[in-house]
A and B are shown apart, each in its own frame.
Chain A
């Protein structure tokens, strides 16, 4: 396996952009979906939280993940704490593995991202099983695969505002 992605010098990220991206992810999660799309779409809030936990651990961490989990709990009308617990666990794993993930090239990050999102989903499913005795079927876990597949696109998009405009020597 090749290591060492192309090192980039990036501009500092604006806190406003982080909030904006998370709110956008929340909006995407609220989109009314049905049938096939419902199973295949990833949890966008989880993905964006994951991105910021890996790339800006000082700004977004377990606390922010927990707060967005609570918001998702209200939006999805699940028990308070269900998504909150899953997201904060996910944030913790992301913080623990962030150096490893950033060492890898973008297309090699697939396994890590998929597994981290999968752990989050397993927690949600376990809480559902314990509290309501319902198993929702294996198709639910497709979301973590799509999360892994969409990860490079998400990384590209979220990094855009941090890219220097052009050669700073030229005006």
Chain B
């Protein structure tokens, strides 16, 4: 016991200095250089079982809830789904007709037919506890051939982009993450622009659009595809508010994402971007 009491070692202040310096070193190198990816992946793999255990109660509660669901709500949901299915089928028929027509036109113009992008279904495991970042973790990783930089979408539009790939999971940076850029095009008039995550709340900013340009609330923004990450034509956001202040060169345009960026649990990861494009 005595040797414990009088144990020699660096003083708390010395230890604090050492660990503070180490932390600062890690912070700087992680923020500016990407040397620590392997270390992060190793630790992430080690804590993966714990993450699954932590998710178990929620999954159990969900399955119990599903089991206990009332008959009436099931009937209602069934009716709704049937109606939706009909509507979708109608839309699908139109879509097929349009695709036929489009292919024909493309052939006429001797344009290259677009290669269909294979997609991978994934489930959102959890959102980040860290309130700074707009990121989610999904349950498909390197073992399912998810590549860094792939686009992530849901049924309504673009959700984000794969930022980091772990063996069994990957980290998706949402389009609402602060300063996350997404190249878009206004559906109505083909105007190209870049939309940035605003970082606060579930909103996007359309920046560098001069005040006199034709854009109005309700306009739909789709991906333009010029970055090579997102295939062209995926819906991204709808313009919510246009604030034209003559004092500034640019208009302040706020947009709302169309996809359920933080509502859904099922997402699609589009397979890796075409090889000729550079990563963000």
Residues of chain A whose beta carbon lies under 8 Å from any beta carbon of chain B? 23, 26-34, 38, 58, 61-63, 66, 69-71, 74-82, 84-85, 88-89, 92, 95-96, 127-128, 131-134, 136-137, 140
A85 B23 Cβ-Cβ under 8 A? yes
When the two chains form their complex, are residues B19 and A71 in contact, meaning their CB atoms are under 8 A apart?
A: no
What residues of chain B have their CB less than 8 Å away from a CB belonging to chain A?
4, 7, 12-13, 15-16, 19-20, 22-27, 29-31, 36, 39-40, 43-44, 47, 50-51, 53-55, 57-58, 125-133, 135, 137, 164, 171, 178, 199-200
Is A63's CB under 8 angstroms from B15's CB? Answer: yes
- B50 touching A27, Cβ below 8 Å: yes
Checking A76, A79, A84, A127 against B128 with a beta-carbon cut-off of 8 angstroms, the contacting residue is A76
Assess A75 versus B51: contact at CB under 8 Å? Given A62-B12, A80-B36.
yes
Closest-CB distance, A74 to chain B (whole angstroms): 4
User: How far does the alpha carbon of A34 sit from the alpha carbon of B262 in the complex, in Å?
Assistant: 10
**Residue of A26, A61, A82 touching B12 (CB-CB under 8 A):** A61
Contacts of B25 in A (CB 8 A): 81
* Interface of chain B: mostly helix, strand, loop or mixed: helix
Given A79-B26, A80-B26, A132-B133, 8 more pairs with CB closer than 8 A: A31-B54, A32-B125, A62-B15, A62-B16, A70-B43, A85-B24, A89-B16, A137-B131
Inter-subunit contact B131/A81 (CB<8 Å) = no
In the bound complex, do residue A76 and residue B129 qualify as a contact, i.e. CB atoms below 8 Å apart?
yes
When C-beta atoms are compared, the residue in chain B nearest to A59 turns out to be: B4
Give the chain A neighbours of B43 by CB distance below 8 A.
70-71, 74
Cβ–Cβ contact B20 & A88, under 8 A: yes
Question: Are A88 and B19 neighbours in the complex by a CB distance under 8 Å?
Answer: yes
Interface centre among B20, B58, B127, B200 (most CB of A within 10 A): B20
| Contacts A23-B50, A32-B55, A88-B19 given; does A131 touch B31 at CB 8 Å | yes
> Roughly how many angstroms separate A78 CA and B163 CA in the complex, as a whole number?
13
* Interface of chain A, main secondary structure: helix
User: Are A132 and B15 in contact, CB atoms less than 8 angstroms apart?
Assistant: no
- Chain A residue at minimum C-beta to C-beta distance from B125: A32
**Given A76-B129, A78-B130, CB of A30 within 8 Å of CB of B50:** yes
Q: For the complex, give the distance between the alpha carbons of A133 and B179 in Å.
A: 10
- Give the complex CA separation of A27 and B48 in angstroms: 11
Tell me how far the C-beta of A55 lies from the nearest C-beta in chain B, rounded to whole angstroms: 15
How many angstroms between the C-alpha atoms of A133 and B127 in the bound complex? 20
Q: Which of B13, B40, B128, B129 has the most CB of A within 10 A?
A: B129
Residues of B within 8 A of A133 (CB): 178
**Min CB–CB distance B148 → chain A (angstroms):** 14
Partner of A77, one of B22, B58, B133: B133
Contact with B57, one of A31, A38, A136, A137 (Cβ below 8 angstroms): A31
- Contact: B47 with A71, CB < 8 Å? yes
Query: Assuming A23-B50, A89-B20, is B129 touching A29 (CB within 8 A)?
Result: yes
Contact at A92–B12, with CB atoms within 8 Å?
Answer: yes
Our pick among B23, B30, B135 for the contact of A88 (Cβ within 8 Å) is B23
Give A116 Cβ to nearest chain B Cβ, in Å.
14
* Given A70-B43, A84-B19, A96-B12: A34 touches B127 (CB 8 Å cut-off): yes
Contact yes or no, B12 A95, CB < 8 A: yes
Q: Could you give 6 example pairs across A and B, Cβ below 8 Å? A: A33-B129, A61-B12, A63-B19, A66-B19, A81-B23, A85-B24
- Which residues of the partner chain B approach A88 to less than 8 Å between Cβ atoms? 15-16, 19-20, 23
Within the assembled complex, what's the spacing in Å between the Cα atoms of A71 and B125?
18
A32-B55, A63-B19 known; A81 vs B133 contact (CB < 8 Å)? no
- A32 with B40: CB separation less than 8 A: no
B54 x A80 contact (CB < 8 A): no
A161 to B4, CA, bound (A): 22
Partner of B30, one of A38, A62, A80, A134: A80
- What are the residues of chain B within 8 A of A31 when measuring CB–CB? 54, 57-58
